[in-house]
Structure 1
Amino acid sequence: MANDCKILLIDDDELFCLAIKDGLSEFKIAVANTIEQGIKELGRRSFDILLLDSKLPDGCGLESLRLFREIDEQIKIIVITAYPDLKLAIQAIKDGAYDYLLKPIDLEELRVKIRNVYHVTELEKLEQLRIHEHSKREEFFVGSSSIIQNLRSLAAKAAASSSPILITGETGTGKNLIATLIHKLSARHKKPFVQVNCAALPEHLIEAELFGFERGTFTGAYQARYGLFELADQGTLLLDEITEMPLNLQSKILSAIETNEIRRLGSNKVRRVDVRIIAATNIDPETAVVQNKLRRDLYYRLNVLRIDIPPLRSHPEDIPELCQHFLRKLAPERKVFIPEEEQKVLQAYNFPGNVRELRNLIERSLILQTEEKELLPSQFILKSDILLVSTNETKSLSLAEIKPLVDIEKQYIELALRKMDYNITRTSKALGISISTLKRKIKLYGLIKKLRD
């Protein structure tokens, strides 16, 4: 609403300031009588509109236009003057003024201008929010393949419900990102999105983390604390790596899902919560049930909606688009690109670490190839997957074909040296080891002669 508009009026005529405040009492108007006072007010809080007199006791209001814009580049400035001058008006607009008004001021005209300016400000904020949300959404689902389109459709359908969701997929496929997007697309998007990695918390702490505790429950519990269920109330709670959670705690999770009730540690009081549960795992849930890592009853409760995220190798056609996305995200100011031939090399790679590995390769390439416009992330693939073999090749390996790690490391270092034209400094950086370590291994594996040759 325009009545929420915050206005700073800078004018040395106190009667004029009083008349403006009384005549436009529906707006929140602060007053300063000098440029110095105006600067202090702008430094203390934010305003939507600045009404600025052209002549002030400590300087020319028009000359201070750029200074005010530097303090707050989004503030809209309306210059007020008792001295009509077309050239000054044009210069004021050039220097950043939004509008120009002559005294004596018609209050109704000023009211209309303020409402119009505030409306423009609100539209700018909405557009910025739209762009921000759009860019964040694009981060989740970069790509045009049928697999990505299907994931988009599933996410939208899942967001329309409040039922539990089970997300499965290999490490690095983006399970957390999709969970976040589902929350943002849902009716709960204005409420909290809380996530916890069940594998990252010690077993004796995870229950307290999830359900909270009362003061004095255990040593160190000096005050009561909310659990993640309470913090996520009316929002979404992501339980990542659910199969790493102790089985006895999984039964309490099941109870919380079915009853919408929890109890803090050390309390008998039942607390109602309204939480949408999303669980994620990088292992096959049916296998986890058989291996006694996931309770069967909890699995059936979570499996109401299931999203299986395919590995990157199943949709390599999205890799060029992902490359462009990561370059824009990681190096927005650098004019770099990944050649088409290099993209084909990446498409032929197996990517056991999926999208996360692709991002890491590009980021590593940006760090180490600082002087080059053409990036070649594939030269760092060996660091991520020494064997460089496809899934089918891995399955066909016999016991006799498996080499000792020492032999693999020797071959790997030798290959890295060749790729870096036997440059010790570049090779050590690419391998992620110190120069002294590389020299020691070169000597150990008898590569000195080849280095000299």
Structure 2
Amino acid sequence: MIRKILIADDEPNMIWALKKALSKEEYEIISADNGEEAVEGLAEEPDLIIMDLKMPKMNGLEALRKIKEINPKIPVIMITAHGTTDTAVEAMKIGALDYISKPFDIDELKVVIKKALEYKSLNDEINYLRERLDESSSKIVFKSRSMEEVLKLVYKVAPTEANVLILGESGTGKELIADEIHRLSKKNKGPLIKLNCGAFAENLLESELFGYEKGAFTGAVSRKKGKFELAEGGTVFLDEIGEISEAMQVKLLRVLQEKEFERVGGETTIKGDFRIIAATNKDLKSMVDDNKFREDLYYRLNVVPIKISPLRERKDDIPLLIEYSIDKFSSQMGKNRFRISNEALDLMMKYDWPGNIRELQNIVERCVILASGQEITEDLLPNEIKSQNNLVGSSIVLPEEGISLEEVEKNLIMQALERTDQNQTNAAKLLGITRHTLIYRMEKYNIITK
């Protein structure tokens, strides 16, 4: 696709030189002689504006303000004369993406243009996804093929009454998928009631799900409706379903089969009309094989399974998620929009993200808080991201050739634990990673300390 660039400068020789320099690139060049024409040039729908600060009729700063009022998303590169750095900074505050100083190297300008157009493409993609999803108040941001397949399945299953089991590691966005299924379902006029099953002891979980009658136990001073009763005509989302006890599994099975239950301490059977969506980060099939989860309940829940891949397996989503999170937190904090440096983005693309999207959002929020300029740079990132390339320490012996990368990593972790007498903190330091990341990888490879 040919990109359109508007060049605004009152010096004909400058416009001629820029047109000639960019003639071999796949750009369509349009020009403006002054600030007013630059603003009017927005009607041509350029992808990028390169504009001089000093122009007649309307100077570059005034034109920039007008342009950003009309189209705040369009990237603008300002051309400044030597010694006008303060004015360039003012332009950045107004919304310019970048600036270059005269005299400038044409190859440097080409790099700046390329980055600006890449930024525009990414921003356009984010806006397209938002328009597509915001029509329905969805908050799902993605680009990867795996998430596209997840959404296709969501759109197919949502209008049905089928039970859905959402599978995925913590922080992958299981709750957002549940929100989307409910929003697209025939029960979207009813409530979406959520409960984290792992957050309650067994007796409290029963009361939360089924409610209780007055006097059912000490402290039950009045009748209370449970989640199933509150979800009448809507959806119940049961997160961390793999954490419930065997006794609770039996009671939940009856609800799934008959859509009926009694409050704790009650005798009246209550019939309900609700849909159940469950989620877990556990391998329920393995739990069934180990007799830790009822097989009949598993198949009742698992009518339509939706598996969300971890972020490390869908890295195409990372730039979009970063940009989305930057916009979100910048807006919340009343700050101008940030950008992310190439070095910081490269490190974040290489990172494994054991905490998935939740971890990414936390790190972006921290960077937005700590950043003193308008760019998230490498030094703002936490040590586990900056030091990830130190996994193979010089004092650790690599295994022989011919084995998989996973086996190499597992052997390195086992060596580090052995050399530190199974001390996880010291082993993590030896490997150049955080203790949290070490524990995640130990669980991944089923490494058990003595």
**TM-score (norm. length: structure 2):** 0.58
| Secondary structure of 2:316 counterpart | helix
1:149 aligns with 2:151: no
| Secondary structure of 2:338 counterpart | coil
1:310–1:137: structure 2 CA closer, same or farther, 3 Å change rule?
farther
Q: Distance in 2 between matches of 1:374 and 1:149?
A: 29
Q: Do the aligned residues in 1 keep the contact of 2:337 with 2:374 (CA within 8 Å)?
A: no
Correspondence list, 1:31-430, <5 A = 134=134, 137-140=137-140, 142-332=141-331, 333-376=335-378, 379-382=381-384, 389=391, 393-397=408-412, 399-402=414-417, 403-404=419-420, 405=424, 407-408=426-427
Q: Do the aligned residues in 2 keep the contact of 1:198 with 1:244 (CA within 8 Å)?
A: yes
| C-alpha displacement of 1:336 | 1.1
| C-alpha displacement of 1:374 | 3.3
Q: Aligned-pair RMSD on alpha carbons?
A: 2.9
| Secondary structure of 1:361 counterpart | helix
1:387–1:194: structure 2 CA closer, same or farther, 3 Å change rule?
farther
How many pairs align? 285
| C-alpha displacement of 1:373 | 2.4
1:396–1:245: structure 2 CA closer, same or farther, 3 Å change rule?
same
Q: Do the aligned residues in 1 keep the contact of 2:347 with 2:385 (CA within 8 Å)?
A: no
Q: Distance in 2 between matches of 1:376 and 1:386?
A: 13
1:398–1:139: structure 2 CA closer, same or farther, 3 Å change rule?
closer
In structure 1, what residue type is equivalent to 2:371? Q
| C-alpha displacement of 1:383 | 7.6
Q: Distance in 2 between matches of 1:296 and 1:250?
A: 10
Q: Distance in 2 between matches of 1:398 and 1:383?
A: 18
| Secondary structure of 1:316 counterpart | coil
Q: Do the aligned residues in 2 keep the contact of 1:216 with 1:222 (CA within 8 Å)?
A: yes
Structure 2 gaps of 5+ residues are 1-129, 392-404, 435-450
Q: Distance in 2 between matches of 1:238 and 1:302?
A: 12
* Structure 2 partner of 1:35: none
Q: Do the aligned residues in 1 keep the contact of 2:138 with 2:180 (CA within 8 Å)?
A: no
| C-alpha displacement of 1:240 | 0.7
Q: Distance in 2 between matches of 1:388 and 1:277?
A: 45
Listed one character per residue, the Cα deviations across residues 367-418 of structure 1 (whole Å, up to 9, x for unaligned) are 22244523438731518998975855433336334353454576699x99xx
In structure 1, what residue type is equivalent to 2:272? V
| C-alpha displacement of 1:288 | 1.8
Q: Do the aligned residues in 2 keep the contact of 1:362 with 1:377 (CA within 8 Å)?
A: no
| C-alpha displacement of 1:187 | 1.2
Q: Distance in 2 between matches of 1:372 and 1:340?
A: 14
Larger gyration radius, structure 1 or structure 2: 1
Q: Do the aligned residues in 2 keep the contact of 1:365 with 1:377 (CA within 8 Å)?
A: no
Q: Do the aligned residues in 1 keep the contact of 2:318 with 2:349 (CA within 8 Å)?
A: yes
Q: Distance in 1 between matches of 2:229 and 2:147?
A: 34
| C-alpha displacement of 1:135 | 6.9
In structure 2, what residue type is equivalent to 1:400? Q
In structure 2, what residue type is equivalent to 1:228? K
In structure 2, what residue type is equivalent to 1:256? V
Q: Do the aligned residues in 1 keep the contact of 2:327 with 2:338 (CA within 8 Å)?
A: no
| Secondary structure of 2:376 counterpart | coil
**TM-score (norm. length: structure 1):** 0.58
